[in-house]
Amino acid sequence: MDNFGFIITRHVNSENTNRYWNHNVKLIRSFYPRKKIVIIDDNSKQEFVKADYNYHNLLVIQSEYPQRGELLPFIYFLRNKWFNNAVIIHDGVFIHKRIEFARFRFNVLPIWHFTDFDDNPPNTNRILTGLTNNSILRNTLNNNNLNVLGLNKKKWQGVFGTQCFINHNFLVSIQQKYNIENLVNLVHSRIDRCSLERIFGLIFYTEYPQLILMKSLFGPVKNWGYTYDNYYNEFRNKRVPTAWVKVWTGR
């Protein structure tokens, strides 16, 4: 079995957004020509979905759970051990530097992280109650901003877009402890998916506390609001701003 491969979440709702996954796959193939790529399609408008090429070693799965977005790669990777480790990214992420994932010995490592937790604690708590053994996660969430002797007690970070490098055996252990598959019954909207970024942060830091030492591969997420048009103009002029680029589209 291969050491690692890629899982991409895809949602196509126009000719323009169809360009995202095609460009994503082409760039992955330029740096990882033989690695398996799995695309989890989340409720795309199929009249707009068109491949630019007949990509080799690429599997497309039509999800039966619409609007679960960032949750889907974990659900399908649990059920299908395509490789030992998965690199989970969005279709709007574009790779411009090879990372030697085969050398990674992490159980999990977010691609980017964030520290702004002021989103919707009641909604995150609501979703957490659907997990088994959730009390430690809820306590960590609700005590996150307490200060003791002037020192902030933050012991976890949000996982931006739930994008990460993750080991299959580690993911199975999370499922066995928390029953994360039950989240398909609790995550239904964009607000829920924002809470999911916090929930996976809570789980990852609880079960793999080494993340305190290295919070993510590329550090805090930046370039908020950076669009595909912004990116593609710079790409054509060979002025891509970072090694891996994330674009925003508001789908």
What is the block-wise mean pLDDT of the chain (251 residues), using blocks of 10 residues?
Answer: 96 96 98 98 97 96 95 98 98 97 98 79 93 93 57 74 98 98 95 95 96 94 88 89 89 70
Q: Let me know: does 124 contact 203? Beta carbons within 8 Å.
A: no
- Rounded to 10 deg, the angle between the 168-178 and 72-79 helix axes is 100
By residue count, the chain amounts to 251
Burial of 125 (0-12, 13-18, 19+ CB in 10 A): middle
**Alpha-carbon distances of 188 from 67, 87, 93, 127, 202, rounded to whole Å:** 6, 24, 23, 11, 20
Q: Let me know: does 192 contact 249? Beta carbons within 8 Å.
A: no
**Percentages helix, strand, coil for the chain, rounded to the nearest 5?**
40, 20, 40
What letter does residue 46 receive in the DSSP assignment?
G
**Alpha-carbon distances of 244 from 82, 94, 116, 250, rounded to whole Å:** 24, 6, 21, 19
| Token digits of residue 139 | 């306590």
4-246 is a CATH 3.90.550 domain = yes
Name the residue ranges covered by the structural domains of the chain: 4-246
pLDDT at 154: 62
Radius of gyration, CA atoms only, the chain? 18
Distance CA 20, CA 162 (A): 18
State the chain's maximal CA–CA distance in angstroms.
Answer: 60
Q: Let me know: does 15 contact 48? Beta carbons within 8 Å.
A: yes
pLDDT at 75: 98
User: Which residues does 169 contact at the CB level (< 8 Å), separation at least 6?
Assistant: 84
What letter does residue 112 receive in the DSSP assignment?
S
pLDDT at 184: 97
Distance CA 142, CA 146 (A): 9
Closest CA to 199 of 158, 155, 165, 168: 158
What letter does residue 206 receive in the DSSP assignment?
H
| Token digits of residue 161 | 């877009």
pLDDT at 118: 58
pLDDT at 141: 86
Q: What is the pTM of this model?
A: 0.94
